[in-house]
Amino acid sequence: MFVVHYFSPMGVHYTTCSICEASCGVVVEVVDGKVTDIRGDPDDPLSEGHICPKATALSDLQSDPDRLRQPMKRTESGFEPCSWDEALEAVASEIYRIQSEYGRDAVGIYLGNPNVHNLGSLLFGPPLIRSLRSRNTYSATSVDQLPQMMAAAQMFGHQLLMPVPDVDRTDLFVIIGGNPLVSNGSLMTAPGIGRRMKAIQARGGRVVVIDPRRTETANKADEHVFIRPGTDSALLMSMIGVILDEDRVDLGVHSEIIDGLETIRTAVAAFAPETVADFTGVDAARIRALALELCDTPRAAVYGRLGACTQEFGALTAWLINVANIITGHLDIEGGVMFTQPAFDAMYPPGRPTGRGKRGRWKSRVRQLPEFSSELPVSVLAEEILTPGEGQIRGMLVLAGNPVLSTPNGKQLDRAFDSLEFCVAVDFFINETSRHASYILPAAPPLSRAHCDVVFQILQVRNTAKYSPAVLPLEPNVRHDWQILHELKTRLEDKRGGVGLRARLQRRAVAALGPRGLVDAGLRLGRRGLRKGWAGLSVRKLEKSPHGVDLGALEPCLKERMPPGHDRVSLAPELFLEDVDRLLERLQVPPPNLVLIGRRQLRSNNSWLHNSPRLMKGKDRCTLMIHPMDAERNGIVDGAPTRICSRTGSVVAPAKVSDEVMAGVVSLPHGFGHGRQGVQLSVAGSKPGVSINDLTDDLLVDGLSGNAALSGVPVTVAAL
Ligand SMILES: Nc1nc2c(c(=O)[nH]1)N[C@H]1C(S)=C(S)[C@@H](COP(=O)(O)OP(=O)(O)OC[C@H]3O[C@@H](n4cnc5c(=O)[nH]c(N)nc54)[C@H](O)[C@@H]3O)O[C@H]1N2
Ligand SMILES: Nc1nc2c(c(=O)[nH]1)N[C@H]1C(S)=C(S)[C@@H](COP(=O)(O)OP(=O)(O)OC[C@H]3O[C@@H](n4cnc5c(=O)[nH]c(N)nc54)[C@H](O)[C@@H]3O)O[C@H]1N2
Ligand code: SF4
Ligand SMILES: [Mo]
């Protein structure tokens, strides 16, 4: 049953870019074992040739001299190479020691974003994490989409049932806090979104962007509405109120299973457009018109993304976006918001189903923030390391993450990591976080890995399936993430003892199958597998279609996709209703003079592509964007170094004076700040920039979900 791949030193390979969610099909040409060309694959049914500049970084990453190619251990005189056996044994022993000495919660885990783009990590990470049984599990989820997962769990019964806008058939696409032209789409796997937006316009439809910055997406939209950061929930409350007042509710095809409409009526009563206009910065007439346009457009979709989530009312916003779609009849219909029918179903992978999104089974020790789906909000990580007492974190396992740059109050987290007894990072760079590690275990770069987007098949705007074998062989002293994770789990279990024969055999079988075998099992057992007889999908079948297989446009399927025993949609879950008072109170509070928001850039991917020479060419991108009025008021001129201060710290960046941001808002990109001592990224270090997360505040969270409020941080600015 095993297929052996012989890596040819020459040739053309069809594969998938795994850097971001768009999952573009790429063609990679290899000569003498070296990548000579990377271009878009026009035959990929989802991306149809689209790529972005980051795809070329795949080969920079491959050849990067700073990329680790053997395990490293920290010594008095810096990092030194060591053997895999030494590293794995030391790591397993230290984790075992700390958990035996202080209890299982004393080892914390942080999972970074690349885990969801890595087939092996997705399949082999969860068993290791379960076996650690630590309540101190954290991930990038709580600086990202946690509110949307919470809304999905509470309303549709499963955290992964996040509705996807059917952009290819919609006539009104309302984007709240997303910049897909730069991010290439998120929780909406839609490579080539620019082309898809143009198609909406070509069929007479409209794209509306609601954002405190006139973004690249806003520039291509039909309408851009500035909104004060953190106020989207009030805007949505108001829109929903208009729809109810005007008697325009249409619950659509699922009206018989939707509960809670009357409760919504009471909740929105206090949010008339005139009441929220000053608070949101959006004109009352505009609020009314947008609400009615949603009712008047049979194919319309409201879509919210990062800016809607990483704010103090992120959960309310995520919930209300769903409500707006549902009460205007746009749930689960063509051109509205829909659900996918993935060939490999990450909701029900082989083995055990993914958690539905339970919440509040335990709370963080210091600040009492609730767990969601077995994870605590990462905003509490530093205090859980720094605050002495029972349950304090003494050791950290960081898997493909860089929380020092990507989570709030990075300086504090730096201090926290510095104080740990032990830390291990599975990563291929010595960066801002891994420099604190006692051991760094180097994982394989993307082109050496087989890829199948088992997570993003859940979020695609079209059902497709694809399996891409690795393009390049594994370097001699590098291992796959899944191998590292599996080996750590095995060693830890053996140290604990008591592993029965059956468990040992199972362990061995799973390792023998590897990611390929497990995906194969999932495909065969899935809805498009054995049940379809000869036509059923398997990895072998997908390998014969290297561009991917088109499985058609999204189809109404909500009832089928809701988990067993869950057959109703809740418009008004209590959890959200209880949070409305907090928003009402906020309406009464005068806003800060100046707040900070982020800014994604096409040639970055969070913090980890800044060592690619091709992506770092050109001018310094880590600039503070500021409105001309705010610049003048603070004596700041374009290009001048400017100090930005918040409760947690201060940084200096060159000003970029522009009315692209609304007055009262300044913007810095995230992922920079490579000037920290000990970072070994030579290209990134030449334009280190500063970290926005040295300004964001670990105490500023969405009170309901615990998600970090990275947007809307009060700051002051001054010319240097
Ligand atoms: N202020 C502000 N902060 C933000 C955001 C923002 O918009 N503004 N965005 C947030 C969002 S959406 C996210 S998802 C997080 C991301 O937060 P993180 O995931 O913590 O940060 P990344 O920069 O993605 O770091 C990924 C790390 O994984 C390594 N890596 C890459 N691929 C692999 C792999 O295949 N295997 C292994 N083992 N390692 C790998 C990289 O070298 C890097 O060290 O940042 C968040 N932080
Ligand atoms: N090039 C590139 N692509 C990426 C990434 C990257 O770093 N670089 N990261 C990937 C990841 S991990 C993710 S999660 C996705 C994110 O994908 P997106 O969500 O599309 O990306 P952002 O650019 O962060 O978009 C957030 C938008 O919200 C706006 N915003 C900020 N605060 C508010 C607010 O309070 N209300 C409203 N309405 N808007 C607000 C910001 O101005 C910004 O335009 O991108 C992915 N793709
Ligand atoms: S948009 Fe760019 S980074 Fe994202 S998958 Fe496509 S090529 Fe890769
Ligand atoms: Mo993200």
Atom of ligand 1 nearest to the CA of 399: 38
- Determine the pLDDT at residue 351: 82
Q: Tokens in use for 380?
A: 């509490």
The SS3 assignment for 650 reads: strand
Rounded (10°) CA dihedral 129, 134, 136, 137: 10
With a 6 Å cutoff on the Cβ, whether 608 touches ligand 1 is yes
Dihedral sign for Cα atoms in the order 352, 357, 358, 359: positive
- Determine the pLDDT at residue 350: 81
What is the distance in A from the centroid of ligand 1 to the CA of 671?
Answer: 8
Cα 148 to Cα 118, 317, 568, 577: the distances in Å are: 22, 9, 18, 16
Report the helix count and the strand count for the chain, using DSSP H and E.
Answer: 24, 29
Q: What is the pLDDT of residues 401-427, one digit of tens each?
A: 999 999 999 999 999 999 999 999 999
Can you spell out the DSSP letters for 282-331?
Answer: --HHHHHHHHHHHHH-SSEEEEE-HHHHSSTTHHHHHHHHHHHHHHBT-B
- Determine the pLDDT at residue 9: 66
CA distance 196 to 239: 26
Q: What is the pLDDT of residues 608-623, one digit of tens each?
A: 999 999 999 999 999 9
- Of 342, 292, 354, give the one whose Cα is nearest residue 152: 354
With a 6 Å cutoff on the Cβ, whether 445 touches ligand 1 is no
Query: Is residue 647 scored above 70 in pLDDT?
Result: yes
Q: Which residues contact 608 (CB under 8 A, 6 or more apart)?
A: 114, 402, 429, 431, 671
Q: What is the pLDDT of residues 244-298, one digit of tens each?
A: 999 999 999 999 999 999 999 999 999 999 999 999 999 999 999 999 999 999 9
CA distance 405 to 607: 7
Atom of ligand 1 nearest to the CA of 407: 47
Task: Give the mean pLDDT of 199-218.
Answer: 98
- Determine the pLDDT at residue 443: 98
Task: Give the mean pLDDT of 10-22.
Answer: 95
Task: Give the mean pLDDT of 682-692.
Answer: 98
CA distance 508 to 486: 10
Tell me the pLDDT of the chain averaged across its residues: 97
What is the distance in A from the centroid of ligand 3 to the CA of 79?
Answer: 32
Query: Is residue 2 scored above 70 in pLDDT?
Result: no
Strands 595-597 and 370-372: unpaired
Q: What is the pLDDT of residues 468-508, one digit of tens each?
A: 999 999 999 999 999 999 999 999 999 999 899 999 999 99
- Determine the pLDDT at residue 359: 97
| Ligand 2 pocket test, candidate residues 54, 113, 183, 228, most atoms within 8 A of CB | 183
- Determine the pLDDT at residue 133: 97
With a 6 Å cutoff on the Cβ, whether 606 touches ligand 1 is yes
Pair 672, 431: CB distance under 8 Å: no
CB burial of residue 552 (10 Å; 0-12, 13-18, 19+) = exposed
Atom of ligand 2 nearest to the CA of 601: 1
CB burial of residue 646 (10 Å; 0-12, 13-18, 19+) = buried
Cα 261 to Cα 24, 251, 257, 318: the distances in Å are: 40, 9, 11, 17
Atom of ligand 2 nearest to the CA of 230: 35
Query: Is residue 6 scored above 80 in pLDDT?
Result: no
Split at pLDDT 50, 70, 90, the class of 386 is very high
Atom of ligand 2 nearest to the CA of 185: 20
Looking at this protein, which amino acid is placed at residue 117? H
Query: Would you give the distance in Å from CA 304 to the centre of its chain?
Result: 13
Query: Is residue 354 scored above 50 in pLDDT?
Result: yes
- Determine the pLDDT at residue 4: 45
What is the distance in A from the centroid of ligand 1 to the CA of 708?
Answer: 15
CA distance 108 to 385: 9
- Determine the pLDDT at residue 316: 98
What is the distance in A from the centroid of ligand 4 to the CA of 447?
Answer: 21
What is the distance in A from the centroid of ligand 2 to the CA of 179?
Answer: 5
Atom of ligand 2 nearest to the CA of 600: 23
From the CA of 708, the nearest ligand is 1
CA distance 626 to 459: 34
Residue nearest to atom 38 of ligand 2 (CA): 177
CA distance 426 to 65: 18
Looking at this protein, which amino acid is placed at residue 555? E
The single residue listed with the structure tokens 């549709």 is 156
With a 6 Å cutoff on the Cβ, whether 22 touches ligand 3 is yes
Task: Give the mean pLDDT of 198-211.
Answer: 98
- Determine the pLDDT at residue 3: 42
Residue nearest to atom 1 of ligand 2 (CA): 602
- Determine the pLDDT at residue 412: 98
Pair 58, 117: CB distance under 8 Å: no
From the CA of 695, the nearest ligand is 1
Task: Give the mean pLDDT of 689-706.
Answer: 98
Split at pLDDT 50, 70, 90, the class of 183 is very high
Neighbours of 593 (CB within 10 A): 13
What is the distance in A from the centroid of ligand 4 to the CA of 81?
Answer: 32
From the CA of 707, the nearest ligand is 1
Atom of ligand 2 nearest to the CA of 311: 35
Burial code of 663-685, b = ≥16 C-beta within 10 A, e = fewer?
Answer: ebbbbbbbbbbbebeebbbebbe
What is the distance in A from the centroid of ligand 2 to the CA of 213?
Answer: 11
- Determine the pLDDT at residue 273: 98
Q: Give, as one character, the DSSP assignment of residue 539.
A: H
Count of residues for the chain? 720
| Ligand 3 pocket test, candidate residues 41, 54, 113, most atoms within 8 A of CB | 54
Atom of ligand 2 nearest to the CA of 215: 44
With a 6 Å cutoff on the Cβ, whether 23 touches ligand 3 is yes
CA distance 65 to 358: 44
With a 6 Å cutoff on the Cβ, whether 403 touches ligand 1 is yes
From the CA of 56, the nearest ligand is 3
What is the distance in A from the centroid of ligand 2 to the CA of 71?
Answer: 34
Neighbours of 360 (CB within 10 A): 10
The percentage of residues in the chain with a pLDDT greater than 90, rounded to a whole number, is 98
CA distance 235 to 216: 23
Split at pLDDT 50, 70, 90, the class of 1 is very low
- Determine the pLDDT at residue 5: 53
Burial code of 608-629, b = ≥16 C-beta within 10 A, e = fewer?
Answer: bbbbbeebbeeeebbbbbbbee
Q: Taking CB atoms and a 6 Å cutoff, what residues make up the pocket around ligand 2?
A: 20, 113, 144, 176-180, 182-184, 186, 210-213, 215, 227, 229-230, 232, 305-308, 311, 597-598, 600-602, 604-606, 711-712
Q: Is 327 left (phi over 0), alpha (psi -120 to 50) or beta?
A: alpha
Does this model's pTM top 0.85? My answer is yes
Query: Is residue 388 scored above 90 in pLDDT?
Result: yes
Query: Would you give the distance in Å from CA 107 to the centre of its chain?
Result: 24
